[in-house]
């Protein structure tokens, strides 16, 4: 009985194997006809809003190619890459980063339409990493990017960047505003205050492009990233729109921006921290400067005793040098600023002229 059962099972298995092999042999790998496309529902409100931002703003964003005098075959940000710019006004002015066009022998831009135009350099502001270009022959320009304000931004609100990462033009990324009031050193040796931090993907080639809010308004100009690899690591920075709106008109008028100052050399923040001092330690004043004329005194080099520490500017706290430089920029060259200065434990107020230290 057991033997007959085993033989029957073996026979059944053989039949199944043959049947399966036959089916596999003749079964087609693909259907002979294309599959029907599944219809999707309407786009979400968020998707519609993002699409609308891109379609409205992207025609006003250009690819900037700057050939340097040192190597005319190399673009400003390196081989295979380029910078970004955007339309500022209807007179043909474009805004980008200073480091995109720095030392450039020739600059050209490509519009979203594919049209290429030669541009002239109108002015640069290395202290703010901003530059203004102008199209040589004014054509039918796309609309200027709508201007927003950076003063009322909130951490967590949406942010969108349009640019040319690695030369891939008309790329859009999105994220949030990750932090505000960052400080960003520039190639000129100063710091830009109130810089915007975002996790919207910013890569080489995005520099000089617009950072937008959910209404499609300009809230910043993308300028730098922090990344060990050189690619996006979720930490990007943008020059705030309020700074841009102050600097760009000055560049259009005069080709340069004054550097407001009072003529002091300040100690580093590390020194202030080690000494437990909150404020700007004046190391010395420059000869004939407004600070010297106002009686501000630096460190006594003989005894090493501290001189004056600046703690307020026009009633606002000064905790570090960027607070002071930001206050002076708000005041502007040719005006005066009221400083609270502490010498020892005695605070006093002094009124100091603010001058253009690049020309004083």
On whether the CB atoms of residues 313 and 327 are closer than 8 A, the answer is yes
End-to-end CA distance of the chain: 115
138 within 8 A of 96, measured Cβ to Cβ: no
Helix (H) or strand (E) holding 251: helix 241-254
Return d(Cα 258, Cα 125) in angstroms, integer: 9
107, 119 in Cβ contact below 8 A? yes
Reported residue count of the chain is 360
CB 175 within 8 A of CB 74: no
Q: Which helix (H) or strand (E) holds 323?
A: helix 321-331
Annotated catalytic residue within 60, 207, 289, 322: 207
Exposed / middle / buried, residue 229 (Cβ in 10 Å: 0-12, 13-18, 19+): exposed
d(Cα 350, Cα 354) in Å, to the nearest integer? 12
Catalytic residue among 58, 60, 93, 129: 129
68 DSSP β-pair partners: 104
Where is 254: in which H helix or E strand? helix 241-254
Cα gap 164→61, rounded to integer Å: 9
The tokens describing 10, both together, are 């073996």
Contact 205, 166 (CB under 8 A): yes
Per-residue H/E/C for 145-202: CCECCCCCCCCCCEEEEEECHHHCCCEEEEEEEEEEEEEEECCCCCEEEEEEEECCCC
d(CA 279, CA 273): 10
Calpha distance 264→290 (Å, rounded): 9
Name the 3-class secondary structure at 313: strand
Which of 58, 82, 99, 326 is flagged as catalytic?
Answer: 99
Is 207 among the catalytic positions? yes
Indicate which residues carry an active-site annotation: 99, 129, 207
């Amino acid at each position: 009985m057991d033997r007959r059962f085993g033989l029957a099972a073996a026979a059944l298995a053989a039949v199944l194997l043959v049947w399966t092999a036959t089916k596999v042999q003749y079964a087609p790998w693909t259907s002979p006809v294309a599959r029907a496309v599944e219809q999707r529902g309407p786009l979400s409100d968020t998707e519609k809003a993002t699409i609308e931002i891109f379609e409205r703003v992207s025609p006003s964003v250009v690819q900037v190619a700057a050939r340097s005098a040192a190597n005319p075959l190399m673009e400003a940000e390196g081989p295979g890459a380029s910078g970004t710019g955007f339309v500022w006004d209807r007179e043909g002015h474009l805004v980008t980063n200073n480091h995109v066009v720095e030392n450039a022998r020739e600059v050209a831009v490509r519009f979203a339409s594919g049209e290429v135009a030669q541009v002239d350099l109108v002015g640069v502001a290395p202290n703010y990493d901003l530059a203004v270009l102008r199209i040589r022959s004014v054509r039918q320009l796309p609309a200027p990017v709508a201007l927003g304000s950076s003063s009322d931004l909130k951490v967590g609100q949406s942010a969108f960047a349009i640019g040319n990462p690695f030369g891939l033009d008309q790329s859009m990324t999105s994220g949030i505003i990750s932090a505000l009031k960052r400080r960003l050193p520039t190639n000129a040796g100063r710091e830009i205050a109130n810089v915007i931090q975002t996790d919207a993907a910013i890569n080489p080639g995005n520099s000089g492009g617009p950072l937008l809010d959910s209404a499609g308004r300009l809230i910043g100009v993308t300028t730098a990233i922090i990344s060990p690899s050189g690619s996006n690591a979720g930490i990007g920075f943008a020059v705030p729109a309020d700074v841009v709106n102050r600097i760009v008109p000055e560049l259009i008028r005069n080709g340069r921006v004054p550097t407001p100052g009072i003529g002091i050399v300040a100690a580093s923040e590390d020194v202030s921290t080690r000494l437990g001092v909150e404020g700007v330690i004046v190391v010395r004043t420059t000869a004939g400067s407004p600070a010297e004329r106002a009686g501000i005194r630096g460190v006594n080099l003989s005894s090493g005793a501290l001189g004056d520490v600046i703690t307020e500017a026009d009633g606002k706290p000064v905790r570090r040098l960027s607070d002071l430089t930001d206050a002076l920029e708000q005041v502007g060259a040719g005006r005066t600023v009221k400083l609270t200065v502490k010498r020892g434990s005695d605070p006093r107020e002094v009124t100091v002229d603010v001058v253009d230290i690049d020309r004083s």
